[in-house]
A and B are shown apart, each in its own frame.
Chain A
Amino acid sequence: MTASTLELLGSVNRCQVAEMEKAVPEAVSGAEFFKRVRNVQASIINTYQVIALASLQTPDPSEAAAMWKEMSGLCENALRALRNIKATFSDCGTPELYDLTLDYKAEADKRYYQNLQDSECTKIPVPEGLFPKMS
């Protein structure tokens, strides 16, 4: 995945979160709000899937870490928005989305920090004879 594709995906996702966040009960029906919640849920699940597959295509753990950081940022943005609105629209799937997003953020963070640690190890030579030789 190129940096610009990742950026584009991030822009789309931020729009979905912003649409959900700007809803107010006076102007947005429960059904419409539910649709926006569903869109954010789709963004989170789909972006996770794309990043999981894209991160395996790079041999560089620092690039993989950058992808997972983007996923964590999406979750953080959604959680921030949900904290503000989940009490207002409590019957429209917000508690469930909040829990799902927390779980996905924890998984993205775990992968981000592990790949960051892996990238630090690329700077230290692997001891001779530890792994089968690659020719």
Chain B
Amino acid sequence: MHEDTSSGGVVSEDELVRLTELFVKFEGATDPLSNHCRESESEFNSLIETIYLEKVRLAVSSITFSQFRSYTRNICRIRASKQVPPFPCV
């Protein structure tokens, strides 16, 4: 499947790219107790909260933060599943 970057949404393509990078880093972390994993998760949470508060809540009032978080994670998951699997030593 190809993402058409010209068809924007409330969440931008750049934001989705960054969220997917962070999602892969913490959800696929081989050491869940590492600083690398925790920092990536923390950044993901901060970014998603900022996007929700500053854009999503104003544009789509019916959506809860919890729903938005899951919708976003599901899109990140679809994108991550199409990438080459990250190897722990890289």
Interface positions, chain A 44-96, Cβ under 8 Å from B, are 48-49, 52-53, 55-59, 61, 64
Interface residue? A114 (CB, 8 A):
yes
Contact yes or no, A132 B16, CB < 8 A: yes
Chain B: minimal CB distance from A126 (Å) = 5
Q: Which of A52, A124, A130, A134 meets B29, CB within 8 Å? A: A52
Interface residue? B58 (CB, 8 A):
no
Interface positions, chain B 40-90, Cβ under 8 Å from A, are 56, 59-60, 62-63, 66-68, 70-75, 77-78, 80-81, 85-86, 88
Q: Which of B9, B28, B30, B88 meets A131, CB within 8 Å? A: B9
Chain A: minimal CB distance from B31 (Å) = 8
Contact yes or no, B88 A49, CB < 8 A: yes
Contact yes or no, B28 A129, CB < 8 A: no
Contact yes or no, B27 A56, CB < 8 A: yes
Interface residue? B7 (CB, 8 A):
yes
A22 to B32 alpha-carbon distance, docked (Å): 29
A116 to B9 alpha-carbon distance, docked (Å): 26
Interface residue total, chain A, C-beta cutoff 8 A: 31
Chain B: minimal CB distance from A50 (Å) = 9
Interface positions, chain B 1-39, Cβ under 8 Å from A, are 1-5, 7-13, 16, 24, 27-30, 32-33
A-B pairs with beta carbons under 8 Å apart, 15 shown: A49-B30, A53-B30, A57-B81, A57-B85, A59-B81, A107-B33, A117-B66, A118-B74, A127-B60, A129-B10, A129-B59, A129-B60, A130-B11, A132-B13, A135-B4
Hey, which bits of chain B sit against chain A, CB under 8 A?
A: 1-5, 7-13, 16, 24, 27-30, 32-33, 56, 59-60, 62-63, 66-68, 70-75, 77-78, 80-81, 85-86, 88
Hey, which bits of chain A sit against chain B, CB under 8 A?
A: 48-49, 52-53, 55-59, 61, 64, 103-104, 107, 111, 114, 117-118, 120-122, 124, 126-127, 129-135
